[in-house]
Amino acid sequence: MKVELVQLAGRDGDTAYNLERTLQAIATCAPDTDLVVFPETQLMGFPTAGNVHAVAEPLDGPSVQAVQRAARERDVAVVVGVAENDAGTFYNTTVLITPEGIALRYRKTHLWASDRGVFTPGDRYATALWKGIRVGILICFDIEFPETARALGQLGAELIIVTNGNMDPYGPTHRTAIMARAQENQAFAVMVNRVGEGDDNLIFAGGSAVVDPFGSLLCEAGRGECRQIVELDLDQLKAARMDYRYLDERRLSLPGERIEHTDGRRELLIP
């Protein structure tokens, strides 16, 4: 499977600019590309509580529809982040769009500080089968919680796609996290981040990456705009899970015990 990571500098609240650059990237992807991945909220940038009503669109709105047409014309799948308006409720959403339409929608479940008061958190994880591989999606801050990728692993994920809007000084945090999430779940992970400046003097950290099911980096971008193409060797999924499978070998039913020092406090037994 050939994946293109499109690391761009977006403009917050400028959908026309972001959409034009997105469509251009899809139109110029390699002829044999299977999947093109963009950053978090790529189409609208990051809205505020004051303008989210004007910026966010439904998934059947003009921007997502334009991406669907581009994906169909190029016969390629696209993963792209949007500010979603669902009947007046707003979500930080990423969609997997195939030539047939939206195959998977994920609403960010762990809201970063600047998301709160703007977006409503999502309430579920999901995976979808596409071209024989089961795909799951996470968004930015989500990957700092092992439980998120584990939830996708329990749903059979073999490829975890992360749309990212991670800023300085947290680039190293997500570099570590994406490698750990892939290794823990013995799955490929593809993370695509934004670069350049954003509102409120944010500087986005780049560092888009692909990680194999052993937790090893296959590629890593710098801090500038770029496009990287990686061929995923799906046989590595079998190799990583040949001798042991973390999901099958977990022992979660054992009791836990927190031992306190003998200073008058009781020992606590957690069933």
pLDDT at residue 257, as a whole number: 87
Catalytic residue selected from 4, 40, 84, 158: 40
Selecting among 4, 57, 84, 140, the annotated active-site residue is 140
Whether the predicted pLDDT of 262 surpasses 80: no
188-192 sheet: strands from edge to edge: 127-130, 133-139, 159-163, 188-192, 209-211, 217-220
Single pTM value for the model: 0.93
DSSP helix/strand/coil, 267: coil
Residue 258's pLDDT band (boundaries 50, 70, 90)?
confident
pLDDT at 19 over 90: yes
Active site residue 40: yes
Active site residue 108: yes
The tokens describing 160, both together, are 């975890």
Instruction: Over range 42-67, report the average pLDDT.
Output: 97
267, pLDDT greater than 60: no
Q: Which of 4, 29, 108, 158 is catalytic?
A: 108
pLDDT 10s digits, 107-141: 999 999 999 999 999 999 999 999 999 999 999 99
Please, what is the average pLDDT of the chain? 95
